[in-house]
Structure 1
Amino acid sequence: MIRIVPACVFPGQGSQSVGMLSAWRGERVFVETIDEASDVLDLDLWHLSQHADPAELARTVNTQPLVVAASIAIYRTWQAQSPVAVPWAIGHSVGEISALVAAGALALPDALHIARQRALAMMAAVAPGVGGMAAVIGLDDLTVERLCSACAGGGGVLEPVNFNAPGQVVVAGHMPAIERLKMAAREAGAKMVFVLPVSGPFHSSLMQPAAEALARCLDDIRVTAPSLRVLHGNSLEVATEASIKPALVAQLTAPVRWTVMVRHLEADGVTHIVESGPGEVLTNLCRRVAPALSVLTLHLPQGMEAAVLALS
């Protein structure tokens, strides 16, 4: 018998798209979860996802709670259909909150409150236009780190913040430094460098005010010991009841080491990666990071049907 060991991965901001919930209107568990989340947020997530223009949907304060809600709605629907136990859950950036809900460490209402307050704090940390993020394609991690140091300038900030896959690193910092990096990276052999449509320099040291605000928000949040192994994206340690709040705070000013996280799962014996959330961003990254693993996506009902069959 072939041994199957799945891990569930949860996406972050950037996985959203207009109409992303529409295919699930007929799934009871999904509908109940989105309705619950809409009530908690006092925000009609069905309307937001279906009728908002892309710019409104991409606003951090809208995107982060919506992605958490959609990811958990998909996860609950999958768990209602699939008998397979999932020993691991990991998330990319705000997706770590979704992973903690899946593991039972956070209640969904608390997770949505955290996601919204996290988003508001991140938007307030740096004035609009001062900082941003850019993706660098085609250079190794060390080269990108060196270019960031060289391009930061006196008193500026430019840091690698998402190690997404081999040859794909996202940087964040002050906009003048990002402009310098665009030219320097191309001269160093980058295939492409482009600014991301986000509202700030997320996961960089410029997010320290947001981290402090989130720490205060978490004071009144109840966490419990996770029932699944959740790997923290900043420390690369397995979550415990005591580690969750400090890790969520530290995450705001620390890089997401996605490549290392996925390879950790592979080294632990995981055979299948299952992306639970809107879109296929992590599906594509995981295939690049660990080509030997089977990678499945649940973002559409037909994908879920295929995943249930593959894992049964």
Structure 2
Amino acid sequence: MKLGILFSGQGAQNAGMGLDLYQAVPAYKATVDQASNILGYDLQEVANDDVKIKQTAYAQPAILTMSNAILNALGDTLPTPVAGLGLSLGEYSALSASGALDFDQAVAIIKDRGMYMQTVGEANPGKMVAVMGNDQQLIVDVLTTLQADGKQVYPANYNTFAQLVIGGVASDVDIAVAALTEAGIQRMVELPVSGAFHTPLLTDAATQLTKRLSDETFKETNYPVYSNTTSEPFTKEAMFETLTEQIISPTYFAQAMKKMLDLGVDTFLEVGPSDTLIKFAKKIAPKDVKRYAITDLESFNAFKEILLAEGENV
């Protein structure tokens, strides 16, 4: 098994996430309790709260913790990954799992990052829309024309080679949707988010995060972790710059996943509250690449059985 681990991003959260794992798997519970001590509140209780878990400030620590808690619970049954990749917030989960950040350090950073993004997002409300279509250059060209006319709308997430999320000022995104429809785009879906993430509307949050990360110490990853911002592996030397640029830069998830496949990854595992990234993988990876997601106790036990069987066959 040449394993590539995918770490869920914001938007994957749901009320009750991880509760069955918390109740049944001691190593999972220990990780969540560790995070609760750092955060100053009961994280599992927050994860069970339908109102709080939708808020950026709470969702980000909850998702990061769940992803790391799943890997901690798998323990030695999990082979060393060939590479890791997280979507936006998920990059911090990936960096923590790979040793570049200590878990306590990652939770403390994400507590502040989530707060910055929620506050700035509320002060600069925006909209994000997923645009489906194979001609992504057409989408970029339409946005470039609108930007030249003073509109604040930008490419934000290259999720697959046929899905590009755009974001910006709500009224300008509406204008872009109309222009894209006129250009022949037939399918677009508005996303349930509170701000235009990965666009210049989050500049104030990036400024705050830059100051917050200035005294942090980073280490080398134990295996390659790909950056959404550069679609290249993180390096210790560039980690600060890459993470501070990330909030206002487009994510190149599809391009990074393609490079993981070039490394020989033959199995993808997503860890977190949903299987969204595995669905992206279905659009990007060849059909013979295996895909799994651990989102709850049932899927945890099922994948652990697969790992144990692999171990017996080695």
Q: TM over 0.5: same fold?
A: yes
Distance apart, 1:306 and its partner CA: 3.1
Contact 1:139/1:189 (<8 A) preserved: no
After the TM superposition, which of the residue ranges 127-136 and 270-279 deviates more from structure 2?
A: 127-136
Tell me the matched-pair count: 306
Equivalent runs, 1:85-100 vs 2, <5 Å: 85-100=80-95
Establish whether residue 44 from structure 1 lines up as the match of residue 42 from structure 2.
Answer: yes
Which residue does 2:119 correspond to in 1? 124
Contact 2:125/2:194 (<8 A) preserved: no
Q: Distance in 2 between matches of 1:41 and 1:191?
A: 44
Q: Distance in 2 between matches of 1:286 and 1:58?
A: 25
**What is the letter of the counterpart of residue 238 of structure 1?**
P
Q: Distance in 1 between matches of 2:263 and 2:121?
A: 39
Q: Distance in 2 between matches of 1:139 and 1:149?
A: 18
Q: Distance in 2 between matches of 1:226 and 1:93?
A: 17
Distance apart, 1:194 and its partner CA: 2.8
> What are structure 2's unaligned runs of at least 5 residues?
none
Q: Distance in 1 between matches of 2:73 and 2:267?
A: 18
**What is the letter of the counterpart of residue 44 of structure 1?**
D
Establish whether residue 295 from structure 1 lines up as the match of residue 295 from structure 2.
Answer: no
Establish whether residue 181 from structure 1 lines up as the match of residue 179 from structure 2.
Answer: no
Which residue does 1:169 correspond to in 2? 164
Q: Distance in 1 between matches of 2:276 and 2:110?
A: 20
Instruction: Provide the secondary structure at the position in 2 that maps to 1:123.
Output: helix
Instruction: Provide the secondary structure at the position in 2 that maps to 1:186.
Output: helix
Establish whether residue 256 from structure 1 lines up as the match of residue 256 from structure 2.
Answer: no
After the TM superposition, which of the residue ranges 157-166 and 183-192 deviates more from structure 2?
A: 183-192
Which residue does 2:300 correspond to in 1? 304
Equivalent runs, 1:10-89 vs 2, <5 Å: 10-24=7-21, 25-50=23-48, 52-53=49-50, 55-80=51-76, 82-89=77-84
**What is the letter of the counterpart of residue 284 of structure 1?**
K
Q: Distance in 2 between matches of 1:127 and 1:59?
A: 11
Instruction: Provide the secondary structure at the position in 1 that maps to 2:240.
Output: helix
Instruction: Provide the secondary structure at the position in 1 that maps to 2:248.
Output: coil
Distance apart, 1:246 and its partner CA: 1.2
Distance apart, 1:64 and its partner CA: 0.8
TM-score, normalised to structure 1, is 0.92
Distance apart, 1:132 and its partner CA: 2.2
Distance apart, 1:83 and its partner CA: 4.3
Q: Distance in 2 between matches of 1:67 and 1:120?
A: 14
Establish whether residue 275 from structure 1 lines up as the match of residue 270 from structure 2.
Answer: yes
Identity %: 27
Which residue does 1:6 correspond to in 2? 3
Contact 1:135/1:196 (<8 A) preserved: yes
TM-score, normalised to structure 2, is 0.92
After the TM superposition, which of the residue ranges 150-159 and 31-40 deviates more from structure 2?
A: 150-159
**What is the letter of the counterpart of residue 268 of structure 1?**
L
**What is the letter of the counterpart of residue 87 of structure 1?**
V
**What is the letter of the counterpart of residue 191 of structure 2?**
L
Instruction: Provide the secondary structure at the position in 2 that maps to 1:184.
Output: helix
CA separation of 1:42 and 1:107: change in aligned 2, threshold 3 A: same
Contact 2:122/2:194 (<8 A) preserved: no
- After the TM superposition, list the runs of 4 or more consecutive aligned residues in structure 1 that deviate by more than 6 angstroms: none
Establish whether residue 145 from structure 1 lines up as the match of residue 143 from structure 2.
Answer: no
Contact 1:128/1:199 (<8 A) preserved: no
> What are structure 1's unaligned runs of at least 5 residues?
none
Equivalent runs, 1:206-285 vs 2, <5 Å: 206-285=201-280
After the TM superposition, which of the residue ranges 91-100 and 17-26 deviates more from structure 2?
A: 17-26
Q: Distance in 2 between matches of 1:78 and 1:70?
A: 12
Distance apart, 1:128 and its partner CA: 4.1
After the TM superposition, which of the residue ranges 118-127 and 71-80 deviates more from structure 2?
A: 118-127
**What is the letter of the counterpart of residue 188 of structure 1?**
A
Instruction: Provide the secondary structure at the position in 1 that maps to 2:99.
Output: coil
